[in-house]
Amino acid sequence: MDFQQVFGKPPETQASAPGRVNLLGEHTDYNDGFVLPTAIPQSTTVQLGLSSDSHHHFYSENLNEQVSILDINHSPSGFASYIFGCIEVLQKAGYKIPSLCVYVKSSVPMGSGLSSSAALEVATLRALRQLLNLPIDDVEIAQFAQQAEIHYAGVQCGIMDQMASSLADTEHILFLDTRTLKRRVMPLPDNAEILVIDSGVPRTLATSGYNQRRAECEEAARSLGVKALRDITDVEVTEKLPEPLRRRARHVVTEDNRVLEVLQGVTSERFGELMNASHASLRDDYEVSVPPLDTLVELLQKTPGVFGARLTGAGFGGASVALVVAGEARSIATYVLEQYKQAGYNGQILVPSLELSDAA
């Protein structure tokens, strides 16, 4: 069903926002650290119209689910919580938001660590900006989106996903200092393209594990007497911490240093080595990987034409990202997915997108 069929009238405006994949800088954003995301071709589109009654009405095409907000004092769950959160944070900032009809459709895979939630938030806020002519810029959209996710979806996220969805494109890497929001748009490494493969394992523990890791990092920063782990540059400083705080902090410090090395300019081969080191750190020090994801990453790392590979996103399942020789992503994916299947797992290629390339 389209907007007209669901709500009985055409939409008044629409906006889209992409998902993202993070090449380096995992679990550093909520430590005020450094990240290197890029946008992916898949996106979420939000269509808006004014409601004919005093209630908000949200519809998800992907879920074939409709939610009506009858009591604004009770936040809904599921996909509606993100939309409701965007409306509420704008209202708390002083903007008057009328009752709305909202229609959502998305090609961003859910549960793969590609920030389908940030794409939904940013698309919603962009559509609201257009509909109501709101004087908010792209950075403010990312900040409002982050607040919506924290306060209404219950995820204590950093700002990387929302900044990437709001500001990044598919042709470049976005270097972001998550403390200052200083950023630089950088080209992809020479003769390289991005390959993203879903492990086939849904991120079942991502939210609870994510919030636990964040709490551990905050405790580590307090123990070291700094505002955030981003303020530690020498990994030796983390050795005085008890376990598991030592390993959690060691991951964050070394991960920040990997991103900063890329900022100075590296070859595709070196970028790949840093991605491999990042996965080992996420697996061993941060403990957010799972065996199928480790298998997939190991297969990628051993395949000719792959510069490097790692898990991407919060972990506990989801997707892997690899930097590969330009023009070889599909053939590499076909080979690796066959090996992965022989190991007893079923994955699928997400980027380059088969559907989007066929449609083009």
Q: Tell me which residues are annotated as active site.
A: 161
User: Can you tell me the distance from the alpha carbon of 60 to that of 66, in angstroms, rounded to the nearest whole number?
Assistant: 6
Residue 239: C-alpha distances to residues 3, 33, 276, 331 (Å): 57, 20, 23, 43
Token representation of residue 174: 């976005």
Nearest by Cα to 315 from 277, 348, 289, 285 = 289
Q: For residues 308 and 301, is the Cβ–Cβ distance under 8 A?
A: yes
User: Can you tell me the distance from the alpha carbon of 158 to that of 315, in angstroms, rounded to the nearest whole number?
Assistant: 15
User: Can you tell me the distance from the alpha carbon of 276 to that of 270, in angstroms, rounded to the nearest whole number?
Assistant: 10
In terms of DSSP bridges, do strands 306-312 and 192-198 run parallel, antiparallel, or are they unpaired? Answer: unpaired
At residue 112, φ and ψ (nearest 5 deg) are -110, 0
Token representation of residue 56: 């908000």
Strands, E assignment, 189-242: 192-198
User: Can you tell me the distance from the alpha carbon of 223 to that of 249, in angstroms, rounded to the nearest whole number?
Assistant: 11
